[in-house]
Amino acid sequence: MSQSSLRVRPMAKTGLVHDVTPASAGWSHVGFALHKLEVGQVAGGEAGINELCLVFVSGKARVSVDGVDLGELGERMSPFEGAPWAVYLPMGSEWVVDATTPLELAVCSAPGGGAYTAQVIEPGRHPRITRGKGANVRHVYNIMPEDDGAANALLVVEVITPQGNTSSYPPHKHDTDNLPHESQLEETYFHRLNPPQGFAMQRVYTDDRSLDEALVIEDGDVTLVPRGYHPVATTAGYDLYYLNVMAGPKRIWKFHNAPEHEWLLK
């Protein structure tokens, strides 16, 4: 049985674990990388023509940007332990991260532009939001939402979905440049499960079903959402974390709900 092109498995257990680029994903805007480092190991790079958001999924590290030491950042040891630390880097920046504990570091990227400056995004800058009701409850930590004006293209958010619940649900899409009703955004999901041996399900599909894939998601997987609806459901006993990276022609998040499922919002 062939593997889905929308589900990206980790390519290593340590070091550079994921490296999704616009070229590898077959799109234009979103990039996503993940580094897993032990104490004393170092990751770094250049933003180039892109802007970046470094998200501390878990662990701590010393961070420097363009030779300026930002100190030791990070707090939680698991993505299920509250809000994250993050660092925004405009295009042209150089960065170095030196792990002071075991570290999972996500590097979110999108085309840069504008006169933006590097900044540390501390936990709690954006308060936790709880969405949904009943078995559709999930908890949202905005890192770089559209209303903060801090970036050219990047939108970054974390979501915790309690065991047995649905998320990104009712199904919605953002694949059409039809503002003010809908924006065109590519998206990645980086998934973690607690406990890690669990699994979740994600479906990516369009109205005409020219794209229609149901994915089994395991701990550490990335889902690519080039277009279409993309609901998620986790299984009993396993909480689900995901980190979303979105970008497109305009830094606006406007989505369209699947009409046949909108009754669930009433």
Give CA–CA dist 116/100, Å, rounded: 28
pLDDT of residue 2: 46
Token duo for residue 262: 């909108």
Which residue from 48, 51, 49, 20 is spatially nearest to 33, judged by alpha carbons? 20
Helix then strand then coil, % of the chain, to nearest 5: 5, 50, 45
Q: Which distant-in-sequence residues (6+ apart) come within 8 Å of 41 by Cβ?
A: 98, 99, 103
Cα separations (Å) of 45 from 52, 82, 95, 97?
11, 28, 6, 9
- Hey, what amino acid is at 152? N
Segments making up each domain of the chain, as ranges: 7-265
Give CA–CA dist 175/105, Å, rounded: 28
77 dihedral zone (left: phi>0; alpha: psi -120 to 50; beta): alpha
pLDDT of residue 3: 57
Report the top-level CATH class of 7-265: mainly beta
The answer to whether 217 touches 199, Cβ cutoff 8 Å, is yes
Cα separations (Å) of 199 from 76, 163, 183, 260?
23, 10, 30, 27
Kindly state the greatest CA–CA separation across the chain: 53
The answer to whether 57 touches 242, Cβ cutoff 8 Å, is no
DSSP state letters, 124-186: TSS--EEE--GGG-EEEEEEE-GGG---SS-EEEEEEE-TT-EES-S-EE-EEEETTTEEE-E
- Is pTM beyond 0.85 here? yes
How do strand 212-218 and strand 222-225 relate by DSSP bridges? unpaired
The answer to whether 184 touches 197, Cβ cutoff 8 Å, is no
Give CA–CA dist 69/79, Å, rounded: 25
Q: What is the pLDDT of residues 173-197, one digit of tens each?
A: 999 999 999 999 999 999 999 999 9
Give the bridge partners for 263, in sequence order.
none
pLDDT of residue 22: 97
Residuewise pLDDT in 10s, the chain (266 residues): 345 799 999 999 999 999 999 999 999 999 999 999 999 999 999 999 999 999 999 999 999 999 999 999 999 999 999 999 999 999 999 999 999 999 999 999 999 999 999 999 999 899 999 999 999 999 999 999 999 888 999 999 999 999 999 999 999 999 999 999 999 999 999 999 999 999 999 999 999 999 999 999 999 999 999 999 999 999 999 999 999 999 999 999 999 999 999 999 98
Cα separations (Å) of 8 from 14, 49, 263, 265?
16, 25, 33, 31
